[in-house]
Amino acid sequence: MPSKLLSLLDRVILPIRFLFGALFIYTSLWHSLHGEKFLQSIKDYQIISGPIVAWSGFLFIALEAGIGIALVFGFFVRQAAIVAAALLAVFTGVIVSAIVRGLDIACGCGLGDTQVGWFDVVRDVLLMAIALLIAWRTGKNAEELSTEQSAEQLSAVK
Amino acid sequence: MKNIRAAVAVLSYLVIVCLAGYNLRGQLFGKSMPATPTNSTSAAPAQAAPEPASTPGAQSDLKSQPETTPQLVAQAEPSPKEKAGLPTTPSPTGKTKDTHSQQSSVPVAGNGAVDVGERLPDFLLIGLNGNTLNESALRGHKTLFIIVSPTCPHCQKELKLLHQIENEYPSIEPVFASVAQRDQTTPLADMTGEGDHIYTGAMDLGRSLGVTGVPFLMLIDEKGVIRLIKKGELDESAFRDVLGKFMHGQPVAQLPNVMLPEVTLSMTTKLFGDQA
């Protein structure tokens, strides 16, 4: 990849990371505040049922919040981005499964109460790509790269 | 500075997780949590919340078997707790006086079985009109609770009949819980005019009660205690007899058995009583 493009990517990766993390924090808050609705959405997918629904919902919210906060505050960025990509891959699979089974259900994504459709799949794939991009450009020592350091690096680049 | 940021991050995380835990406490910890308000129609279901019953396959795969005796499972008798002398009188306002501890002493149906004297496990149904209904919302009034499938001819006939006569029993709230999804259930509402009383999402509830056929009728009193269980269709005279006695607080007499094809609920979505 041309070095200019990589340089440009490195300039924008920090705001992208912030926005991406903020999105996860927002959806985790939305899911926390609309717990019942969220659990109903999980059940609507008809993949899991019973008591496991509530605990998986809780685990999902905890993961979402963890990813969002890690990305925004600059801790374990690479790991968080990889987990985010994995989570989004699972969502994509689940949504495709719902579409294939002809389920007419709400997405439950926390980004509007829309019915599941191919738009959700495209959106999740794009988000997954962003997560992988963050993981790639952040490097192996991302946990040591604080937000401040990132900002300093950005200033230095400028 | 890094320590401060770490502290803020951890604190933020804890806030969100605690918020989620608080809002989901009813579902996470089930019966150990305080009861929801008596008249709530949207409170969180506790314990094993049933998944909505959607049934792409519900319209097929009927497994009719040769005639068998239907299915009066049990009938109106006082619950074991009532026999033991626990207070059962509703308050003058018609609301139950039960405290949570008293309510929790009533056995809860589930694990594939239901019996008279028990109360329903917690569930969450979604009405065709957008309302939600859970177990605690059944308390405070008498309920005619029927688990139905939109493709079951017996259910269709029964709902049409009830639509004609339900106004004669104003103190009994009808609840028709469909095991199919909303789009599959809507025609049943159009057909019977019972759209305001039809809910979806009853598949898991049916499974947890060991329901093997629809219609599956239950009469539930003001305290949420099941007073009668009847599988299969009832004719008009039997309905009038049962509902009249139930409305006036009289014991419901043993119903004559009605010969109906037995229908079976398969492991997944096949539904009993449905037409092939």
Q: For residue B204, list chain A residues with Cβ-Cβ distance below 8 A.
A: 43, 49-50
| Nearest residue in A to B182, CA atom | A104
CB spacing of A65 vs B17 below 8 angstroms: yes
Of A39, A65, A147, the CB nearest to B13: A65
pLDDT of residue B128: 87
CB spacing of B24 vs A50 below 8 angstroms: no
> Chain A residues with CB-CB distance to B under 8 A?
25, 28-29, 31-33, 35-36, 39-40, 43-44, 46, 48-51, 53-55, 57-58, 61-62, 65-66, 69-70, 72-75, 101-105, 146-148
The pTM assigned to this predicted structure is 0.46
- The set of residues, in sequence order, having a beta carbon less than 8 Å from that of B39 and lying 6+ positions away, is B95, B137, B139, B140
Of B24, B52, B181, the CB nearest to A35: B24
| Nearest residue in B to A148, CA atom | B2
What is the bridge-based pairing of β-strands B142-148 and B216-220?
Answer: antiparallel
Of B16, B27, B47, the CB nearest to A32: B16
Q: Can you list the pairs that B266-269 forms with residues at least 24 positions away whose Cβ atoms lie under 8 Å? A: B266/B61, B266/B63, B268/B57, B269/B54, B269/B55, B269/B56, B269/B57, B269/B58, B269/B61, B269/B203
CB spacing of B181 vs A35 below 8 angstroms: no
Residue among B116, B113, B119 nearest B138 (CA): B119
Site from B13, B135, B205 to mutate, A interface, most A CB atoms within 10 angstroms = B13
Q: How many angstroms separate the Cα of A64 from the Cα of each of A59, B238, B271?
A: 9, 55, 38
Q: Environment class of residue B94 by beta-carbon count within 10 Å: exposed (0-12), middle (13-18) or buried (19+)? A: exposed
pLDDT > 90 in chain B, percent: 8
d(CA B127, CA B265): 23
3-class secondary structure, B170: coil
CA distance A24 to chain B (A): 12
Of A31, A32, A46, the CB nearest to B54: A46
**pLDDT, tens digit, 9 for 90 and up, residues B204-231:** 888 888 887 888 899 998 888 888 888 8
Residue among B229, B162, B223, B250 nearest B198 (CA): B162
d(CA A49, CA A54): 9
- DSSP E strand stretches across chain B: 64-68, 124-127, 132-134, 142-148, 172-178, 198-200, 216-220, 226-231, 260-263
More confident residue, B32 or B171: B171
pLDDT of residue A11: 79
**pLDDT, tens digit, 9 for 90 and up, residues B222-260:** 888 888 888 888 888 888 888 888 888 877 765 654 544
Residue among A144, A125, A142 nearest A10 (CA): A142
Q: For residue B134, list chain A residues with Cβ-Cβ distance below 8 A.
A: none
Here the tokens at position A14 are 């920090």
Residue B56 reports pLDDT greater than 60: no
3-class secondary structure, B115: coil
Tell me the pLDDT of chain A averaged across its residues: 82
- Confidence check on the interface: ipTM exceeds 0.85, yes or no: no
Task: Provide mean pLDDT across the span B138-160.
Answer: 88
| Nearest residue in B to A65, CA atom | B13
CA distance B258 to chain A (A): 34
Residue among B10, B5, B1 nearest A65 (CA): B10
pLDDT of residue A113: 62
| Nearest residue in A to B184, CA atom | A104
pLDDT > 70 in chain A, percent: 85
Band of pLDDT at residue B198, cut at 50, 70 and 90: very high
CA angle B253, B259, B260 (to 5 degrees): 115
- DSSP E strand stretches across B37-161: 64-68, 124-127, 132-134, 142-148
Residue B66 reports pLDDT greater than 70: no
